[in-house]
Structure 1
Amino acid sequence: MKLYQIHTKQKLPISLDEAWEFLTDPNNLKLLTPPEMEMTVLYGTERGMYPGQLIEYSVKPLPFFKTNWVTHITQVEEKKFFVDEQMYGPYATWHHKHFVSEIPGGTLMEDVVHYRLPLGFLGKMVQPFLVKPKLEEIFRFRESALIKHFGAYNEPSNHDQTLKQDILN
């Protein structure tokens, strides 16, 4: 079984605190998921994120396939990263690391996903033309949803950085 990877980065024009609060609230998953996937959180959102938390949701990854997905939050380091792993769902393996870090003018969000597909040879066959494009579409949707929600990140100019440094000194 081959292990596949997705690695994305996005700069957000919000503070690290705002990013962490938003990204660790499972109720925001629906906002970050394409509507045609009909994502519904079923349970696990009654508290803030913590190691050991289980979150179950219903999702339609393909037009003809609806399933429940149970995510286990395995690690959380406040305002740095959290890790979720699929306990039950459409993948043979799903391990998703979410990192956040402060950058000038906002927050850098980075995702690293490792996954394996079920069905052996058949899973390997559909990866390049079905699974990979769908995951890329989901992450593009998420990027545009975050821009719509928070606005676009603008690189601070050198003048802005110098001015900020002068103010701090």
Structure 2
Amino acid sequence: MQKLYFTQELPISLDEAWAFFSNPVNLKEITPAHMGFVVTSKHHGDVMYPGQIIRYIVKPVLGIPLKWCTEITHVEDKKYFVDEQRFGPYAFWHHQHHFTAVAGGVLMEDILNYKVPLGFLGNIVDALFVRKEVTGIFEYRKKVLTEKFR
């Protein structure tokens, strides 16, 4: 099991941060284009809720499309939400998104626990590729958000 932790402060209100990050449609905007990320599920309204299922297509390796399905398992309005993979490329995926109002804006914290399938071989693939790719996605996100919310 791997654990990654990322933080970012943005000069926006807690309300604005929550509205942006709790809407699955905005995920494409903060995901690198080479990932071919598309939300395929339809969502009714803008309110995130426990039990919400979000389906995606993602192309993480060689442009090969993979179906990915996550469930929003926990939500505390304007504080945090958790998405967990129900099926997809990982053996385990648990992603916490935390939001805290701070002087001048909002602090966002991402806590990601994941495991690549295939046991020992998966550990090698993670060390050579997956961890770098996941970290790169969060670095890309940080850059895009910094530009978007100057």
The verdict on a shared fold, with TM-score over 0.5 as the criterion, is: yes
What letter matches 1:138 in structure 2? I
2:85 pairs with 1:77: no
* 1:85-104 alignment, distance < 5 Å: 85-104=84-103
Q: Spell out, residue by residue over 1:18-59, the C-alpha distance to the aligned partner (whole angstroms, 9 max, x if none).
A: 000000000000001000111111014223210000000101
Shift of 1:15: 0.3
Which residues in structure 2 correspond to 1:49-88 (within 5 Å)? 49-88=48-87
TM-score by length of 2: 0.96
Indicate how the Cα distance of structure 1 residues 65 and 121 shifts in structure 2: closer, same or farther if over 3 A, else same. farther
1:25 counterpart residue number: 23
Kept in 1, the 8 Å contact 2:36–2:63? The answer is no
Name the aligned partner's letter for residue 113 of structure 2: H
Q: C-alpha displacement at 1:120, in angstroms?
A: 1.0
SS for the counterpart of 2:44 is coil
Q: What amino acid does structure 1 have at the position aligned with 2:33?
A: P
Instruction: Provide the C-alpha distance between the structure 2 equivalents of 1:44 and 1:73, rounded to a whole number of angstroms.
Output: 15
**Gaps in structure 1 of 5+ consecutive residues:** 152-169
SS of equivalent to 1:136: helix
Q: Secondary structure at the match of 1:50?
A: coil
Q: Is the 8 A contact 2:30 2:141 kept in 1?
A: yes
- Within a 5 Å distance, the mapping from 1:145-160 to structure 2 comes to 145-151=144-150
Q: CA deviation at 1:145?
A: 1.0
Within 2, Cα distance between the matches of 1:120 and 1:75?
A: 28
TM-score by length of 1: 0.86
Counterpart of 1:12 in structure 2: which amino acid? L
Q: How does 1:121-132 map to 2 (within 5 A)?
A: 121-132=120-131
2:147 aligned with 1:120: no
Partner of 2:11: 13
1:88 alignment partner AA = F
| Cα pair distance change 1:145/1:84, threshold 3 Å | same
Q: What residue number does 1:143 align with?
A: 142
User: For each residue in 1:79-124, what CA deviation from the matched residue of structure 2 results, as whole angstroms up to 9, or x when unmatched?
Assistant: 0000000001100000000000000000000000000110111101
- What root-mean-square deviation, in Å, do the aligned CA atoms of Structure 1 and Structure 2 show? 0.9
2:35 is matched with: 37
| Residue ranges of structure 2 left out of the alignment (5+ in a row) | none
